[in-house]
Structure 1
């Protein structure tokens, strides 16, 4: 008598196990960050506090906001910290269905995806935030006192973190599309004007309605698209040379 499960049921069991591991990883990160929740919020709010007029400060318009806002930030940072492990679990689930030549690029793609995601977050924090907040505070009417709500600020910054983190994945997306045969480098080069236009449209949709943040998102997306084209062509040439050698 065999205990083997049907393939579909086995996949569901494996998916459940990997989801549980992912949730546990996030909770473990959260357990380590929760104690420092207030310090983390202070760190994230520094770009705004540095440009506020003298005498201005952040406020909490909700009674529970001083408690929940820092913990919400700590939880989101827990997901960011667990991101490499989450990608590892996703890869472990889909890897059995891939060909050997596709698996060869898995580790570089996963590592590059993680690094680019973190680079996008760092770019938004160190470059975008100081410029955007300096712009917003400088254009405020003379008689308006700037006192940003801590929950609104957190939602604003999280949106930008996610937008820039995902936009920095463009080279990986371009490489995967070319590797899988969905498109080619030459075909994408011909569509460059549409890609540039799409970058600015996405910048408009994913960022606040100001020219600075839209441009700071669109231009890196375009440059990263060009980087993806270069990498795809280089890898293609290397693969062609190796196949001819064999």
Structure 2
């Protein structure tokens, strides 16, 4: 199928389109960030600092899981012995602004994807342009699942590990607000973006940059890397490491499966 006839755009025209993409996306993030201001108490007290309390959902679930597996109290968390302190004059103000912006980015992600799609759609076939809704839906879904994975799995595992690890009873844990927020932002964004891997692999395979053979060839390296990441962010027990590693391995396998489908279709189209 031939591509739709479009008016030739110069390099400056493309830059202008890209500029407006960035402007509209930035406005969307700021608007959503402003809206989070009205629920800031809930955002900070319940969501952001939720993983710092032993009553957090993940800790309670792991405790119940340990009982059901016959591990007794081995992974039950009853206390997180640390405090978070602000050591900078503008620390809390900066934290407030950045977390509102992070929330704005997460909430406006589907709109940003829509803007990206509108930017690249002129270069696509008519049939491919009709898949906009499917692309935005699944990309957004994967991103939000990744954010939830980072929030309910990676963050509490990391907090539990650093809170309970100690080189000596003399040392007391007093984490700075900046370090906690930095870990929070990294975990949320990394989780969301990692779960976009199938979408990224889909387009890279479609462009011929990546093949299923390439992904299978380096499968063992990907497994080792994922296990290392799981070992770093979790306490030193097998159950916690598997809870983090298994979803990441499944995402990589889904990416290979999609790559196989796209590669076969690409070969058929090229004859």
TM-score, with normalisation over the residues of structure 1? 0.78
Partner of 1:65: 91
Distance 1:19 1:132, change over 3 A: closer
| Contact 2:211–2:263, Cα closer than 8 Å, also in 1 | no
| Structure 1 unaligned spans of 5+ | none
Partner of 1:17: 20
How many residue pairs were aligned? 236
Structure ranking higher in helix proportion: 1
Moved more, 139-148 or 161-170: 139-148
Compute the RMSD of aligned alpha carbons: 3.5
Which residue, out of 218, 227, 230, partners 2:257? 230
Partner of 1:161: 188
Partners of 2:135 and 2:236 in 1: how far apart?
Answer: 32
Equivalent residue runs for 1:2-151 within 5 Å: 7-42=10-45, 43-50=47-54, 53=79, 57-140=83-166, 141-151=168-178
| Structure 2 unaligned spans of 5+ | 1-6, 55-76
Distance 1:89 1:145, change over 3 A: same
TM-score, with normalisation over the residues of structure 2? 0.72
| Contact 2:204–2:210, Cα closer than 8 Å, also in 1 | yes
Deviation string, structure 1 residues 125-165 (Cα, Å, up to 9, x no partner): 11222222222222233233333222221011111112211
Deviation string, structure 1 residues 27-86 (Cα, Å, up to 9, x no partner): 111111123334312221111133684885322111222332122211111111111111
Partners of 1:233 and 1:217 in 2: how far apart?
Answer: 26
Partners of 2:95 and 2:210 in 1: how far apart?
Answer: 44
Partners of 2:78 and 2:90 in 1: how far apart?
Answer: 24
Partner of 2:199: 172
